[in-house]
Amino acid sequence: MVTAKVWVLKKHFEGFPKPSDFDLKKIELPSLQNGELLLESVFLSVDPYMRPYSQRDMKEGDIMIGTQVARIVESKNPAFAVGAFVVANSGWRSHFISDGKGLHLLPSSWPESLPKSLALGTVGMPGLTAYFGLFEVCKMKPGETVLVNAAAGAVGSVVGQLAKIGGCKVVGCAGSDDKVAYLKKLGFDEAFNYKTVTSLDEALSKASPDGYDCFFDNVGGEFSSVAINHMKKHGRIAVCGAISQYNDSVPQKGPYVQIPMIFKELRMEGFIVTRWNNRREEGQKALLKWVLEVRREGVIFFTVYLHHGLPLCKGGSLVVAGEVRSWYDFLLSDVIFEPFEDTQTILNMPDAFHFTETCDTSLWS
């Protein structure tokens, strides 16, 4: 029998987590069943997400969430050999039994000389966050200017280095002079200590006078409210984290949008209509059709016949042949609406069915 040590959340965090919020317990593990494997923890990860996630997902007494690098010490599962290493989202436990689901074997190309702890950092979830946040959300391009806060952290330090590799100018900020020196060593073009600058505005302008194309936001809050004003036109912001708010027992003032944006993975984009100047005619044609045709009557019946596969519409009454069409289709289609008197004739027409849309055109006048 193996005795596992587990760290449980004794009390939900109030403000910063404290050692007294945790309790160390021992659990006797049963013998393995077929298909199961026993793993021993090698590295445990502590990540910022665990602070808000514990509030959202855990109850007091639960084993603390988190990922770990673990070594397989016994296996009755042919897919997992003894001695192999995995990354597991198994919480803070010294040993655990798994059926293999949710275990990620370290890549076979992992060199012996490379510390396996990197599987929880640069070559793990934080590194992947930087990689996908930069390439899929910021969509950074060579020659652009990238801003990243919490830049000396697990995510931010990878963001900065990947952005340099990607041919960008990189500006980072951190909360100590030592970290700023570290950023310069990593190759950041500009770095400043956000805690000691007299003005964040001035620091951001000085670091990049013509602004930023990409902002990789790990911090949220006041920093983001200032930084957004330094973005270039068509700039992109990756709302990665809001660490400035995780330990707030009372939510900070100000309508900070980062938390719902992250949890709901929202996309928010500013725009100006002149962006579509090259599609002006298309839009006006659709709007004209809507004004002149679709909104003409309170109860709308339209007849659409597929004539050689194309919709032929004699407007006034819509009897849709084939699938029910959406208004948007009609607004954009080249269907010409013509006055149509005899609704009864329509109703007897073959291979069609009736699509009636009732709308209050008074709302449109």
Ligand X SMILES: NC(=O)C1=CN([C@@H]2O[C@H](COP(=O)(O)OP(=O)(O)OC[C@H]3O[C@@H](n4cnc5c(N)ncnc54)[C@H](OP(=O)(O)O)[C@@H]3O)[C@@H](O)[C@H]2O)C=CC1
Ligand Y SMILES: CCCCC/C=C\CC(=O)/C=C/C=C/C=C/[C@@H](O)CCCC(=O)O
The CA distances from residue 291 to 110, 180, 281, 364, in Å, are 64, 60, 15, 9
Does 124 contact ligand X by CB under 6 A?
no
Does 174 contact ligand X by CB under 6 A?
yes
Residue nearer to ligand Y on the CB measure, 41 or 317 = 41
Q: For the chain, state the CA radius of gyration.
A: 30
Q: How far apart are the C-alpha atoms of 103 and 69, rounded to whole Å? A: 10
Q: How far apart are the C-alpha atoms of 365 and 359, rounded to whole Å? A: 12
**Nearest approach, Cβ of 237 to ligand X (angstroms)?**
13
Of 262, 312, 332, 359, the one binding ligand X by CB under 6 A: 262
CB-CB contact of 8 with 22 (8 Å): yes
Of 33, 176, 343, 345, the one binding ligand X by CB under 6 A: 176
**Nearest approach, Cβ of 271 to ligand Y (angstroms)?**
26
For residues 156-215, which are near ligand Y according to CB under 6 A? none
156 binds, among ligand Y, ligand X, none (CB under 5 to 8 A by kind): ligand X
Of 119, 125, 158, 163, the one binding ligand Y by CB under 6 A: 125
**Nearest approach, Cβ of 63 to ligand X (angstroms)?**
21
Q: How far apart are the C-alpha atoms of 151 and 185, rounded to whole Å? A: 12
Strands (E), the chain: 2-9, 22-29, 37-44, 68-75, 85-88, 95-98, 103-105, 145-148, 169-174, 190-193, 212-217, 231-239, 299-301, 303-307, 310-314, 319-320, 353-354, 356-358
Residue nearer to ligand X on the CB measure, 126 or 315 = 126
Alpha carbon of residue 233 to chain centroid: 22
Q: Binding string to ligand X for residues 240 to 259, with x set by CB under 6 A, is what?
A: xxxxx---------------
Of 75, 90, 94, 129, the one binding ligand X by CB under 6 A: 129
214 binds, among ligand X, ligand Y, none (CB under 5 to 8 A by kind): none
Q: Binding string to ligand X for residues 319 to 348, with x set by CB under 6 A, is what?
A: ------------------------------
Count helices and strands (H / E) in the chain.
10, 18
Please report, as ranges, the residues that interact with ligand Y according to CB under 6 A. Answer: 48-49, 52, 65, 67, 89, 125, 241-242, 246, 259, 262-263
